[in-house]
Amino acid sequence: MDVCIIYDTKRGATKQIANWMAEGLKAINGVKVDVARPSEVKSFDYDLFIIGSPIYWEKPMKSVVDFITAHGDDLKDKKVAIFVVCLAEVFGRHAKKYAENHYLKPLENKVSGSLIKGEIFKGWLKNPDDKQRERCINWVKEIAEVAR
């Protein structure tokens, strides 16, 4: 299975998270992974797309939204999993629910392809939160199982 992880970032957290996801996927037999920013994607010859964005001022990055909308046709027969990176869960359970409804779902609703379970990852401002590594690895394993 060929997987493309597409992300953008302003301060680096989402890049690190995308790289942890790639690490998790590479450990699975028969899975090949590319990691790219939206402007670097040259081909849609993948079985699964994992697309993620950090949240700034309540919104995902424009580059990611534009990528999803501009490539509706390319993605429509593909499996797609969406993730967002933000700090909402720091503020508790209700904030996590808020992030699901206001950050994750609107991005998922733009996807033309067949959606696989989305996820919210906790980002950071300065120092990488290494606890997220295991969550990333476990999540992509679940996604790969469903996508097979």
Tell me the window of 20-28, 49-57, 109-117, 132-140 that interacts with ligand FMN (CB under 6 A): 49-57
For ligand FMN, give the closer residue by CB, 2 or 58: 58
Answer yes or no: are the C-beta atoms of 81 and 42 closer than 8 Å.
no
* Binds ligand FMN by CB under 6 A, chosen from 29, 39, 57, 94: 57
Rounded to an integer, what distance in angstroms lies between the CA atom of residue 69 and that of residue 60?
13
Tell me the window of 24-32, 39-47, 48-56, 75-83 that interacts with ligand FMN (CB under 6 A): 48-56
Q: How many residues bind ligand FMN (CB under 6 A)?
A: 19
Site for ligand FMN, residues 14 to 33, rule: CB under 6 A: 14
Rounded to an integer, what distance in angstroms lies between the CA atom of residue 85 and that of residue 139?
14
Answer yes or no: are the C-beta atoms of 123 and 85 closer than 8 Å.
yes
For ligand FMN, give the closer residue by CB, 48 or 88: 88
Main-chain dihedrals φ then ψ at residue 9, nearest 5 degrees: -155, 155
DSSP string, 2-55: EEEEEE--SSSHHHHHHHHHHHHHHTSTT-EEEEE-GGG------SEEEEEEEE
Site for ligand FMN, residues 60 to 119, rule: CB under 6 A: 85-88, 99
Which parts of this chain interact with ligand FMN (CB under 6 A)?
A: 9-14, 54-58, 85-88, 99, 123-125
